[in-house]
Amino acid sequence: MKLRPLSDHVIVKPLKENETTKSGIVLPDTVDKEKPEKGEVVAIGPGKLMENGQRAAMSVKVGDKVVFKKYSPDEIKVEDEEVLVLNESDIIAVIE
C-alpha cells in the first residue's frame, strides 16, 4: 500500500536511535523508548491551500531528514512498518 498525503501533511519514517549509551552500554529492546523526534520524509502532500486558491509550496522534500515536535505526529502502521504523519508546521528543522 502506498500513502499519498493530502494538504500540508508529511509522511515520515522514524530514524533509529543509537541503542548503546555514550559509555558503551547496550540497551535491550525491552527498555521503554522515547517517542521519535527525527525521521526521513517518505511522502509529502501538495501543500496547504491558501485563501487566494493557490497552494503554498512545501519546504521539505522526499529524502530530507527532519527534526519534529515530539508529540505532534500520528503513528500508523502500513504493511507492518510504522510511519508518522504530521503537518509541515510541526517540522522544526531539516538535518543537513
pLDDT in tens, 51-87: 999 999 999 999 999 999 988 899 999 888 899 999 9
Q: Which domains does the chain have, with CATH numbers?
A: 9-16+33-95 (2.30.33.40)
Torsion, CA 59, CA 61, CA 63, CA 65, rounded to 10: 10
Quote the percentage of the chain above a pLDDT of 90.
59
What mean pLDDT comes out for the span 34-44? Answer: 87
Q: Residues with Cβ < 8 Å from 85, sequence gap 6 or more?
A: 5, 9, 10, 11, 12, 73, 74, 76
